[in-house]
Structure 1
């Protein structure tokens, strides 16, 4: 039986850049809109049969694990692209927020999907060094006098992570436009850490 091709994607589609191909990207986009979607729903959204989706992903848990792994790798790339050791801490923070906002738009809600504890532990290991560089940005800004010294680096990372998820969910529900969500998120985080 021939395997159906993945659905076509638009040129420059950022979700394909994160998830690698049209089928995975379509599944991730639909999960962002409907986090409880079934495999049947995801197959329909991707424009393929349920059998085709199951040939690629043997279970919903396997699909979510692969998408979350791709999102974690996208997170590492996004932080690397922000070059946190370049320029002043406020400049690096601006780049970080821009880079992560682009990722949150296509992967932010995957953080709400349940994961097997071994998969979650593996992803945390993959992203540990990247998370440490984000904490390091806050410390660098505290030492330079740009950022508040009473903000704990662990809280900074948690705030950044969950505000990104919240922003993505607000866009999903139509409460905010992507541009407004990014602007509000950047303003909230900046106000929370900057010394003015």
Structure 2
């Protein structure tokens, strides 16, 4: 049995859910927004309880004792996805990026993030619906927030890819707390070679 899949997803206060079996849609609403997801065939999603004691259960359509590896994985993944949706609309998710490099910075202009990353012209990034971005006063710290964990992660990944941190001076965009393996520059490498002679 999937140890993860068999546990119901409890709905915290302020969060509600609706499950449509005809088109396999689960909808979760909360303080941070509304998320919908079409759950896969092979599992049954149901809602139980009333008042402040509500939960969503996920069970396989086939008999548990006949489930094979991929079916068990699907069961657990479905439960994990719904749990993530509940957490997202209840509390939200964030990713923080750091911009490093002389003259490298970002600013907000309406629904766009304008980044100066050493190119001949600034980069305009359209902030997608469902995500928000805040910039610190120094214009070098970006916080991406939203109720959809996958969207928040995707936006952070796209922004990091605009200028990945280079290994010599570390200039670029990195995740907060990300460790970059640094390489010695040519001058340092030459000096090191000379010292061995």
**TM-score band (shorter)?**
under 0.3
Richer in helix (by share): 1
TM-score for the superposition, normalised by structure 2: 0.25
For the pair shown, the structure with the greater C-alpha radius of gyration is: 2
Q: Which has the higher contact order (CA 8 A, sep 6+)?
A: 1
